[in-house]
Structure 1
C-alpha cells in the first residue's frame, strides 16, 4: 500500500508520521486548517507568501480563500508547497525513508586553544601588599600560589581525561572494558587524592590571603598517595603499548584526532594527558625547593619543607624502581627464543633495565638491544598474530663475561667486522664492538648507533654495568669515559 507523511502540529514542534496515502489536495486542506488553528495569523502570513511573478489576482484569492484546494491547481499546489516543505515532508509514493548522508570528517578551522588561568597571587588579594610585605615574602606567596594553582590544573586534567576520553570511548564502544582499564589504569583514584591536597592547602590560608604552612601538609599527604602512584606508573608501559596498537584502528584514530584538534585539548594528545600524574609527581621536589629558598631560617615551616622534599625524592625513586621492574618483566615476557641455549637463567632474574634501544649489526639488521644489570640481550622485533615480540638474536651475554670496544670511524676489524657488509667503500661511523671474554657466549658483534651521542650513551652504560659487576667481584674496573 502506498504511504504518505502525516504532519502533526504540536506546541513543541512538527511531528511526522507515516500513514496510508489519501487525496493529496484534501491533505493540504487539513494541513492548512491545522496551521491556522495552531499559529493563527502567522500561518496566514505564510500562506500569503508566493514566488515572484505571481499575478495580483491570484494574490487576492490567497487572502480571501480558506482552502488550498480552491486556490491552487493540483500541479501548482504540490509544486509551491513543496518549496516550503521539501525538507520535512514528501508526497511521493514511497515506502522508504529518505537516506541520510553523513559528511566525512575534515579538519576544522583553527580555533583558539583553551588557556590556563595564569593569575598571580598578588592579583587575588585586596589592598597594596607592597606596603605590608617585603619582596621576599611576596615571592614566597607567589611560589605557594603556583603550587596550588598547579594542583587545580591537575584535577581539571584528570576529570577531563575520564569524562572526555574514557567515558566517550566507552559509550561509543571503541574499546572493551579490559582495554579501558589497561589504558586508563587507576587514574580515577588520583582525583580525590589531589583534591585532598588542595583542601589541605586551603585550610592553611589566612584571612589576608597569605599561606604560612606548606611542608607540613605535604608530609601528611605524600605517604597516602605512594601506593596509588606506584600502581599507576607501573602500568604506563602496558597502557602506552595498547594505546599505540589501538591508534591503528580508524575509529580510535579519528576520535583522538578530533579531540586533539579541539580547543579543550590544548593541542595535547591522549598520552600527554595520561602522563600528567607522573610529570606532576617529579615536579614536587622542585616546587618545594623554590618555596624553601624563600622561607626564612627561623620560619615554623622550614624544617617540614626540608623533610617533605626528602620524602618526595624518595617517593620518586621508589616509583621509578617499581616502574623499572615492571618494564623489565614486560620485555622479558615478550622475548621469543629460537633454542634453549638462549634461555639464560639470569634473564628471568632481572629487575632493572639499564638501557634499551635500536642498533644495527654488521649486516645492517636492526636489533633491539636490552642492557639489564647482569646480562645483555640482543633481539629482533617480530609480529606474531598482530602482537609484537622480541626474537632473541644470538646468545645472551652475562655482564661478567662482557667486553666492549669503541671503534674509530671507518674501522674494519676481524671478528665483529663490517667487511663485506657494505658496498661502495663507504665509511661507517658511530660503531662499537661487543666481545665475550671466554667465547662461551658466542662470537663478537659490531654494532652501529644512530649518532655519536647515542654511541657514547651506550658505551657509558655498558662500561658502568661492567664496572658494577667487577666491583662486586673485586676485579679491576674500566674507565667509564667514551674513549679508550
Structure 2
C-alpha cells in the first residue's frame, strides 16, 4: 500500500521510501565474524558487532540468536547459556532532534512569518514523533518479541501478556504517519492537519484502553520472568547494544502510554501558531477536547483494572478484615510503601472509599499482599500529623503501627467508628513524600464527607 510520494507503508509493515531514509538514516556496522569455527561468546563483545540498525531490524532476531551461545548437554539435551559478561562500552545510537526548517529545501522559510514557522515546526514535531514511535514499536516486536519466540525463551502465552496489542498500536500510528505525510506539500510545508486528527482519534480509544489496561499484568509478568537466567541474559545483551539506546524493554513498552498523554500539548502547540481565520483553528480545538476525553477514559479503565489486580492479590487472615467496600473499589487514589515505627515495610493502598494496609508476602512463588489488621473506611477516618521528634511508648508487636518510638516524617491514621478501634502510625521516606501522602489522605476524607452530606 503506497501512502504519498515520499513515505510508504506496504501491507506487511516494512518501512521503505526516500523520506524515511532521509529522516532515519543510520550507518551500517562492519561485520567481521572471523573463523566460523571460533564463534564463541569470548569474541562477541556486544550485539553492536552483529546487529543491524532499526532499518534492518527484521534480521535482528537471527543475529541475537547467533550471539547467544547455546550448547546441548550430552545426556539431558537441554539448552544452556554461557554466562553473560558485560562487553566494553559501545557508542549508543541516539536520535537527532531535527527541526522542520532543516528538512525543507531552499529558503522556503524566508517568506513565512515567525508565527507561521512556529506552526510548521509544531506540525513537524508531531509528525516526527509518530515516525519515531512506529520505529520503536517495530523494533520491540522484531528485536524483542520475535527473537524471544524464536529462541523459545518465553511461551506464546507469556509473550502475548507482555507485549499485548502492540501490533494494533503500530498499525494505527502508521496510518497517522501516512495521513500526515499526504498533507505535506512539495515545498515541505503542511497547510492543515485538523481533519486528519479528527479522523484518526476515534480509532485510538479502544486500542489504547486494551493496551494500557494490560500494562500492569505485563509489568508483573516481566519482572517475574527476569528472574529466569535466560530471559535476564537476553535483556542484558539488548541493553548493552546500541539499538536499545541504553533503554530496557519496559521503557519501550511504556512509550505508547507516554505518547498518548502528550497529544493535548502537541495539539496546543500547533493551535498557538494557527491563524484565527484558519480552518484548523476549529478542528484542532475539537481534537484537543476529544483527546482529553480519550486520555480520561483510558485512565478510568486502567484504574479499574489496577484496582481489581491488587484486590485479587489480597490475602486475609480472618473474616473481620473482609470489608464489603473493598470489592467495589474502582479507583486507587494512591499506593506505595510506608514503614511502621519499628521499620517494617508496609504496602499501603488508599482507595476511594477505604484504606487497606498490607505486607508483601510470597505464596507458591506468587507475590501477594497480606492484609494487616482491619481496613479503615475513609468516611470514618481521622488524620493526625506527628511533629518531628515526638516519641511514643512501646507496645506489643501487633501494636507496632500505633505504638513505639517514632521517627521522622510520621503521621497517624485512625478510625472514628466506636465499633472499630483501629489506628496506624506510618512513616514516609522523606518530608516531601509525607506531604504528598497527607494531601491525598485529606483530599479523600474531604470528598467522602461531602458525598455523605449530599446523601
Give the TM bin, normalised by the shorter chain.
Answer: 0.7 to 0.9
1:372 aligns with 2:355: no
SS in 1 for 2:358: strand
1:317 matches 2:307:
no
User: Does residue 342 in structure 1 map to residue 321 in structure 2?
Assistant: yes
In 2 relative to 1, CA 418–371 (structure 1 residues): closer, same or farther, beyond 3 Å?
closer
Contact 2:134/2:170, CA 8 A, preserved across alignment: yes
Going from structure 1 to structure 2, the CA distance change for 1:112 and 1:200 (only over 3 Å counts) comes to same
* Alpha-carbon distance in 1 for matches of 2:307, 2:93: 39
Who is 1:267 aligned against? 246
Does the C-alpha gap of structure 1 residues 205 and 297 become closer, same or farther in structure 2, counting only changes over 3 Å? same
Query: Cα 1:179–1:382, aligned 2, differ >3 Å: closer, same or farther?
Result: same
- What RMSD in Å do the two structures reach over aligned CA positions? 2.3
- Partners of 1:325 and 1:191 in 2: how far apart? 25
Please report how far the alpha carbon of residue 120 of structure 1 lies from its aligned counterpart in structure 2 after TM superposition: 2.2
**Contact 2:401/2:424 (8 A) holds in 1:** no
Matching residue within 253, 270, 279 for 1:300: 279
- Please list, as runs of the form range in 1=range in 2, the aligned pairs for 1:69-468 lying within 5 A after superposition: 104-413=83-392, 421-422=404-405, 428-468=407-447
SS at match of 2:279: coil
TM-score (norm: length of structure 1): 0.74
* Cα distance, 1:116–1:420 mapped onto 2, change above 3 Å: closer
Larger Rg: 1 or 2?
A: 1
Secondary structure of the 2:447 match is: helix
Task: Quote how far apart the aligned CAs of 1:420 are.
Answer: 7.3
Once residues 418 and 104 of structure 1 are traced to their aligned partners in structure 2, the CA distance between those partners, rounded to angstroms, is 45
Q: Which residue of 2 aligns with 1:48?
A: none
Task: Kindly state the Cα deviation for residue 439 of structure 1 after the two structures are TM-superposed.
Answer: 3.4
What stretches of structure 2 of length at least 5 have no aligned partner?
A: 1-36, 38-79
Contact 2:403 2:425 in 1 (8 A): no
Q: Give how far 1:132 is off.
A: 2.0
SS of residue paired to 2:362: strand
Deviations along 1:106-148, one digit per CA (max 9) or x if unpaired, are 2222222112243322222222124321222122111111111
TM-score norm. by structure 2 comes to 0.79
Deviations 1:291-335 (A, max 9, x none): 111111111211111111111111111111111110000000000
Secondary structure of the corresponding residue to residue 109 of structure 1:
coil
Structure 1 residues 346 and 420: CA distance shift in structure 2, 3 A:
closer
For residues 358 and 157 of structure 1, the distance between their equivalents in structure 2, rounded to whole angstroms, comes to 33
2: CA distance between counterparts of 1:126 and 1:164? Answer: 35
**Distance change >3 Å, CA 313–CA 253, structure 1 → 2:** same
Maintained 8 Å contact 1:395/1:442 = no
User: In structure 1, the residue corresponding to 2:252 is in which secondary structure?
Assistant: helix
Structure 1 residues 125 and 367: CA distance shift in structure 2, 3 A: same
Q: CA deviation at 1:367?
A: 1.0
The alignment partner of 1:474 has SS state of helix
- How far did 1:376 drift? 0.5
Change over 3 Å in CA distance of 1:417–1:217 after alignment to 2 = same
Unaligned runs of 5+ in 1: 1-15, 17-100, 476-484
- Contact kept, 8 Å, 1:434 with 1:446, in 2: the verdict is yes
Question: 1:66: which partner in 2?
Answer: none
Gap change, CA 1:446 and 1:161, over 3 Å in 2: same
Change (3 A) 1:468 1:419: closer
| CA–CA distance in structure 2, aligned partners of residues 390 and 418 of structure 1 | 17
Query: How much does 1:105 deviate?
Result: 2.9
| Separation in structure 1 between the aligned mates of residue 447 and residue 139 of structure 2, nearest angstrom | 45
Instruction: Kindly provide the CA deviation profile for residues 198-224 of structure 1, in whole angstroms up to 9, marking residues without a partner as x.
Output: 111112122222111112211110111
Does the 8 A contact of 1:394 with 1:442 survive in 2? no
Separation of aligned partners in 2, 1:355 and 1:146: 34
Distance 2:140 2:104 in 1: 32
Rounded to whole Å, the distance in 2 between the matches of 1:418 and 1:399 is 18
Residue 339 of structure 2 contacts residue 427 of structure 2 at CA under 8 Å; is this kept in 1? yes
Once the two structures are TM-superposed, the CA of residue 417 in structure 1 deviates from its matched residue by: 8.0
- Aligned counterparts of 1:289 and 1:173: Cα–Cα separation in 2: 45
Aligned counterparts of 1:395 and 1:279: Cα–Cα separation in 2: 37
What is the distance in 2 between the residues matched to 1:409 and 1:132? Answer: 64
- Report the more deviating stretch, 157-166 or 434-443: 434-443
Aligned mates of 1:383, 1:159 — CA distance in 2: 36
